[in-house]
Amino acid sequence: MVQMVNEHNVLKGILEIPNAIEDTLNLEKNSIKQISIEIVKKNPKVIYITGHTNSFIGIGAKYAFEELTHTPTIAIPPNDLINYESAISEEHFIVLVSETGSSPGPVAAAKHLEKKGVPTLAITNTKGSHLEKACKRSILTHAFHEAHAITGHNAILATLYQIAIDMAKEQSKIKISTLNKLEDDLFKTPEIVRSVLNQKDNVKEIAQACKGDKDIFMIGGGPNHATAIIGGWLLGECAGLHGVGLDVEEVVHGPLYTGYPGMPLIAVAPEGKNFNKIIKLIEVIKDIGLKII
């Protein structure tokens, strides 16, 4: 039987997320701004975001970079960079993310890219790590090392959002008032997370409703496709469930038909561009008998 991760460390990691985001944004503000200015000066044709946590960090950050800086952004696993070998050049900018800074894929990719003269940036939670040493530029996040890696992952994602905002400010293509509002919202994230974590009774109620289930769908749209992916991973890692994170547009193209009556579907549906899509989808799938949360 597969050994689940230490539940104490996972819970500690979740509870540390607000502090990690808060400390990183405050303590690294100047470093983030300087690197953001440098990226704008290089004016890359494409920004690649790569790392073993790339599937959700890269997807989540992609929307911020493309919407705010109008720079095409590709989320790509480090081992897949070889397939882009002929396409990547000094005209691109590569962001390598790793909470530990020791993941072999990102470290090997960083060393190879530096030899090619491709600009790289390491975002890691570990000072003096192999990844930090392999890149000319680095930003250190401030997450508690003994907690679960999800703490550092959230700090890395917040860092990427701040980079996108600072780049947009430097480009002066979007109203400064709009960007200041986005930055204010980003800095409010820790308090929002704390308020959610305080809803223990609601969380326990949902957990109780799903405790006998083996399969769970999670759906989200846009940046919250990334939320669904990491949610699915954590359900597997922490609870041994078959958690599947899906984009709201993909659910009806096959995965939906593997669902069965009583199977939970968790819909991540904040206000925004994808809200109505998710509500319409929920109306459609009610007939299947899924347990919608």
What are the tens digits of pLDDT across the range 205-239? Answer: 988 888 888 999 999 988 899 999 999 988 888 88
**Whole-number percent of the chain with pLDDT over 70:** 96
98, 106 Cβ separation under 8 angstroms: yes
What are the tens digits of pLDDT across the range 91-105? Answer: 999 999 999 999 898
Q: Give the Cα separation of 99 and 101 in Å (integer).
A: 6
Edge-to-edge strands of the sheet including 264-267? 242-247, 215-220, 264-267, 291-292
Q: Give the Cα separation of 220 and 246 in Å (integer).
A: 7
Contacts of residue 284, Cβ cutoff 8 Å, sequence gap at least 6: 252
- Does the structure show a pLDDT above 70 at 2? no
Q: Give the Cα separation of 98 and 84 in Å (integer).
A: 20
What mean pLDDT is reported for the chain? 90
Pinpoint the alpha helices (H) of 143-222.
150-171, 176-197, 200-210
What are the tens digits of pLDDT across the range 32-53? Answer: 999 999 999 999 999 999 987 7
Q: Give the Cα separation of 221 and 275 in Å (integer).
A: 8
